[in-house]
Structure 1
Amino acid sequence: MKRTILALSALLLGAGSAAHAETLFYGSRSGMLVTVVKKLNLGTTHARIVTKHTRENATAFCREYILKVTPKCIADTLNTQLLPEISANCETGKFTTLGGQNYQFIGPNPQYDPTGDSTEYRMVEMGNSEPLDGSSASGYDVALGQFKALCPNRAQ
């Protein structure tokens, strides 16, 4: 009896964890998510978050963005080329996204106007001096979300 209760408890705890798994966006479209597997050294010079692109993530994308869940959609979505982890040096602000882009978080934007077109923070893609403009095409929101997950004290 005791063994049955322990097994049932473990099963329920596991189901609850999977149902409430933490996710990160890898793209700007609805459902473009990966599941967080492990967080290491957040807020440090060696911050890392390990992720997994799960079948559940792919199904959510097909349901929420494509609006049709099919085996082909799920398979195509799971074939999206993503890195298995993101990393950052929170002191320098340099970080790598799930898509393999390298950025540097500069800090708060002194020209930020919440009612205007400016971004709250300044970020640049490495090798480019122009800050990201905040549009979904620039990848600003996705990159900022990943940086915030890695370095929560730098961008709140």
Structure 2
Amino acid sequence: MELAKELFNNFFTSSLVTKLLIFLSAFFAPIWELYILLLFLTSIDYCMDLFVWFFNRCKTCKHWQITQPFIIKLILYSVLVIVVQAVQNHLIKNDFQIFRLIIAIPIISETMGIIATVERYTGVKILDKARGYLDNWLSSKQPKKDE
């Protein structure tokens, strides 16, 4: 009981920033893994684009033209995560995991962006090879027709 009283007292005597961080961490706790993955993939995509820009010595564009979409993505992805998590928590509850479904779309998109950059500068057609492997695997899993 004394511990709960001390935590309650510390919460109300702490600064506004601390209260905001505690609230955000409690809100993001169930979704932390996917949110961090999305931010990580977005950052990797940005670093790869910046790396390509730096070594190609792009004279036609400034680094801001690469940085601005990155910052916009971070802001919009964060808003998306907050909104979808709020809808999941307050409207849908545990009936259906809409959060995982919605967040999977930008995660896959960022992964495809990374793969496209690698394909463009290495010449290795990763998506075509993966698609071929997947088609072969799916065709091997289909039941054989008895003739």
The TM tier, using the shorter chain, reads under 0.3
With structure 1 as the length reference, what TM-score do the two structures score? 0.24
Relative to its length, the structure with more helix (as a share) is 2
Structure with the greater alpha carbon radius of gyration: 2
TM-score by length of 2: 0.25
